Each structure stands twice: as C-alpha cells, then as structure tokens.
Amino acid sequence: MSYNLAPVHFFLSLLMDHGDVILRFQDVSFHYDSRKPILAEASFSVREHAKLTIMGQNGAGKSTIFKLITGMLKPKEGEIHTKRGTTIGIAKQVIPHADLDKTVEEFFASGFKEKKFDLPRRIARVTDAVHVRAPLEKKLRAFSGGEKARLLLAFALITEPDLLLLDEPTNNLDAQGIDHLTQFLIDYDKTCIVISHDADFLNCFTHGVLHLDIRTHKVQQFVGDYYDVVEAIRQQIENEQRQNARMEKDILDRKEKINFFSHKGGKMRKLASKMRKAAEADEENKVEVRREEKTIPPFTIAATEFPKPLVTISSVTVMQNHEPKKKKIGLTVRRRHRLLITGPNGIGKSSLLEAMVAGKEKGAVITHGVKVGYYHQDFSGLAMDKTVYQILAEEMEIENNQAIYSTASRFLLPGDTVHTKVEALSEGQKGLLCFARFLLQKPTLLILDEPTNHINFRHIPVIAEAINQYKGGLILVSHDKEFVSQIEMNEELDLGAL
C-alpha cells in the first residue's frame, strides 16, 4: 500500500492503528565536536508495530540515532522518551573486532545481564530463525561474512525486543538470505527501525522514513513506502527551489528600487528605508532548501602496468557439509581480465580472497610484484587508529598535500574529516575511503569483496562505471546483482558448483 505523501504531521491519523508511541525524540541535539553538529533539534515519534527506515547521506548521523536510542550516547540537548518497559535489540553492521575470538555461546551470553540457564535452547531458536548453523563452541572469526550478518540479526532477536534496530542488515547476505530477512520483517509483529541502502529491500516493508539532512542536521518524518518517499523529497526540493527563486527575484527588484529611491530626498528616502526592511525580512524568510544527497563524481582508477599473469588459480578450498574440501580448477587472471566468484554464504568466497592476499593459499597465487588493491568487506584492511590523511598519504611515493585533500573531498570526506581517525568514520565513509585510496594507489589488481556494502545506492552506479573502465585485473565477490550487471565480467567461478 502506498500513501499520498507529505511531512508526517499531516498524516498522523494514518498511523493510529499502529498503537501507542513507543519512542519519541523531542528537540534532540547532538555533536561529538561542538563545531560539527550531527543532530539539531530533532523531533519525531515512532508508534508500536511501525516499520521505519532511516535515510540520509553517509555520515549524516543514522547510526548515531541508534546509539542515542540504546543509551550508548546521551543528547546534548532535548529529551528521548521510550515507553516504560520497552526492550531494545540492535543488530549492528559488523561484529566488533574484540568479539571475533568469542565462541557463539560467549557472544550470545553477552546479550543478557544475567546468566541464562536455557541459553543453548535460545541460541538454537534464533539461529534457526535466521538460517545459520552455529555450533556453540565455534569462534565468530571462523564464520563467513554472510554467516556473521545472520548471527548479528540473531543476537538482536535473542532477547525478543519490543523495538528492533537493524543497521545495514542485508550486507553480506546472498539472495536467499535477503528474501528470508524480508519475509521475517514483514511478519515481525513488533516495532522495527532499519538503516539500509538497499532500496528494493526497504520498499518491501517500509511504513515510513526518517530523513536526515547532512547540511541542516534536521530530521523530517514521512509516511509511505520507500520509493514514494524518495519522490516526495525530490518534489519538495523542487518546490522549495522555485519558492526561493521567486523571492530572490522580488528581493533583487526591491534592491534596485532602494538604490534609486535612496538617492532622492524626503519621502522617497523614507520609502527606500521601508523597502530595505522588507527585503531583509524576505531574506530571512527564504526556505532553507533540503539538498538531495550528494553523489560522488565520476572517477578513474589507474592501473600500474604488469606484463605477466597476475593470479594463477589451480585449486580452491570450499566448505561442503561444514568440512573443507580441496577442488582442482585452472584459472589465470591477467590484465583487463574480470573474474566473478559466486556461491552461497559460507562456501568460502571471502576466505579464498583473504588467503590469496595473505599468500596462504597455495592453489591461488598472486604473482610477486603485483600491486593489489583489496576491498575487505569488514574494512579490516584499514588501520582504525590512523587518520584519513595518513591512510591516503601511505599510497603516495611523495606526499602531496593538495592531492590528498582533493581526493578525499571527491569521495565526500572534506575539510576536517581528513584528520579524523578511521574508527570515527561511518561504515559508508570507510567504504568511500577505500575507493579514494585506490585512486592514489594505482593497483595492478583489484580484489573486491562485497564493495557495495554500506555504500549509499546513489554512489553505486558511479563506482560500477569506474570498475568497468578499470584496465587492470579484477576479482569480484558481490551479492548485489544490479551492481554486477553494470560490469562486463569475463569469467565466473561458482564455488557452489564445484
């Protein structure tokens, strides 16, 4: 069902059947640095059983809102109210590095304040709900990216929360996993708020959208499905721009008359004074136009020349019935060759790439001297304690201050952000930083493991075009079919068919 859209205060009656208000932000302001506000007087409410999406540019504060809801952060001003007795569960984007060496049982136990003697039964129920096999003694590090994504969702569900918060839940999930998650959310009878850049996924179950404006730091609430909201915002921007254009024309006309009358005497000069005050009032009343989310401009990843084959693959290890099996194949990746590696979650795609880059896979060898640009799905290839500037400077033979700032800016990492530590960036900003690094690195071989994870859908066509024009070798793992369809691939290696 879709709705005729407008800001939510015109449509509250449409939500009455969702029940009582379970969460309310009242004039909430927040910042990490007082010079860089994230939220400014944000006000919105969420009713029981509603399913909402948080929409906004990378770095606009979407994950910050989740941290405020859970109490991890406190507002600088304003108040956050939750219905008395409300329990909250959150599925984060990635498993914290500190938790990777925990066993499944230890990980889920950390979700409870008190010891649960029926914990194994609870774990079995939620892992079955998200379709992942999770032996209690198995360490989280040993799971694939898709399996980790399902474990994060299971972790959020184990306490049976009244309010479920999902941060990029489709990342690393294959098509079957996304379909299962979508149906789960449609059937979920409690309140859910989702952050995601997967537009098709969101459109299947969304009742409304909270839109964050990265420039004004305001939050506006809309009712309706995702695509209708995007269109409503576009129309609103056009209306605001037309209104301001008319006011600017009136202001300009007044200023011309003011200049003429102010040089006259008596009553004419008094009239000029009144007109000047009216023009100043019009300036103040101009609408603060919401800007559409910025899209990164087209870019080119240069490839360092290399005459020999880049990668030789004679065998791979795949997981079958939860046991590693060696499979013989014969593949060679050369310059301008694009290899797509596919297969279900848990088959061993990411493990193959990691072992290949680390030089630990004897059957898949990268030729010595090949410069590798590696996009790791959990960004473990980025040093979290370094700044954006330091990350980019490491890719340059001679440090060039101007090149670093301009490269960062074109990937929406401008100004003071350049001196921000990687750990403080949003996941989307980390993804864009990886591509900024490739520009300066000029790799011979790109190895991309789920490169659309966390990336705003507006940027994805630009990134796909850059990869399609890349003249080096490419090995790609991606569950994003739309993204893959925009890149001309030469060969596919389906690990599930070996």
- For the CA atoms of the chain, what is the radius of gyration? 26
Which distant-in-sequence residues (6+ apart) come within 8 Å of 260 by Cβ? none
- Please give the pLDDT value at position 443: 96
* Residue 277 predicted with pLDDT over 50: yes
At residue 206, the pLDDT reads 84
For residues 344 and 57, give the distance between their C-alpha atoms in angstroms, rounded to a whole number.
30
Domain ranges of the chain: 8-231, 232-285, 311-497
pLDDT for the residue 319:
85
Return the top range by mean pLDDT from 85-89, 322-326, 346-350, 469-473.
Answer: 469-473
Query: Is 311-497 a CATH 1.10.10.10 domain?
Result: no
Whether 199 has a pLDDT exceeding 80, the answer reads no
81-107 pLDDT, tens digit per residue, is 999 999 998 887 778 888 999 999 999
Q: What is the pLDDT of residue 236?
A: 66
pLDDT of residue 16: 40
Separation of CA 93 from chain center: 9
Q: What residues contact residue 489 under an 8 Å CB cut-off, 6+ apart?
A: 338, 339, 340, 476
Looking at per-residue pLDDT, the higher value among 120 and 146 belongs to 120
Q: What are the pLDDT digits (tens) for 166-193?
A: 988 887 777 777 888 888 888 888 999 9
Asked if residues 474 and 443 have their Cβ atoms less than 8 Å apart, the reply is: no
Question: pLDDT band at residue 2, thresholds of 50, 70 and 90?
Answer: very low
CA distance 30 to 215: 14
Q: How many CB atoms lie within 10 A of CB 340?
A: 17
pLDDT recorded at residue 46: 92
Instruction: Grade residue 207 by pLDDT with cuts at 50, 70 and 90.
Output: confident
Confidence of residue 276 (pLDDT cuts 50, 70, 90): low
Decide if pLDDT at 115 tops 70: yes
- Rounded-to-integer distance, Cα 498 and Cα 493, Å: 9
Please state which CATH number belongs to domain 8-231.
Answer: 3.40.50.300
Tell me the pTM: 0.64
pLDDT at 11 over 50: no
Encode the chain in three state secondary structure: CCCCCCEHHHCHHHHHHHCCEEEEEEEEEEEEECCEEEEEEEEEEEECCCEEEEEECCCCCHHHHHHHHHCCCCCCEEEEEECCCCCEEEECCCCCHHHCCCEHHHHHHCCCCCCCCCHHHHHHHHHHHCCCCCCCCCEHHHCCHHHHHHHHHHHHHCCCCCEEEEECCCCCCCHHHHHHHHHHHHHCCCEEEEECCCHHHHHCCCCEEEEECCCCCCEEEEECCHHHHHHHHHHHHHHHHHHHHHHHHHHHHHHHHHHHHCCCCCHHHHHHHHHHHHHHHHHHHCCCCCCCCCCCCCCCCCCCCCCCCCEEEEEEEEEECCEEEEEEEEEEECCCCEEEEECCCCCCHHHHHHHHHHCCCCCEEECCCCCEEEECCCCCCCCCCCEHHHHHHCCCCCCCHHHHHHHHHHCCCCHHHHHCEHHHCCHHHHHHHHHHHHHHHCCCEEEEECCCCCCCCCCHHHHHHHHHHCCCEEEEECCCHHHHHCCCCCEEEEHHHC
* pLDDT at residue number 231: 78
Chain segment 33-45, per-residue pLDDT in tens = 777 788 988 899 9
Burial class (CB in 10 A: 0-12, 13-18, 19+), 305: exposed
311-497 shares the fold of 8-231: yes
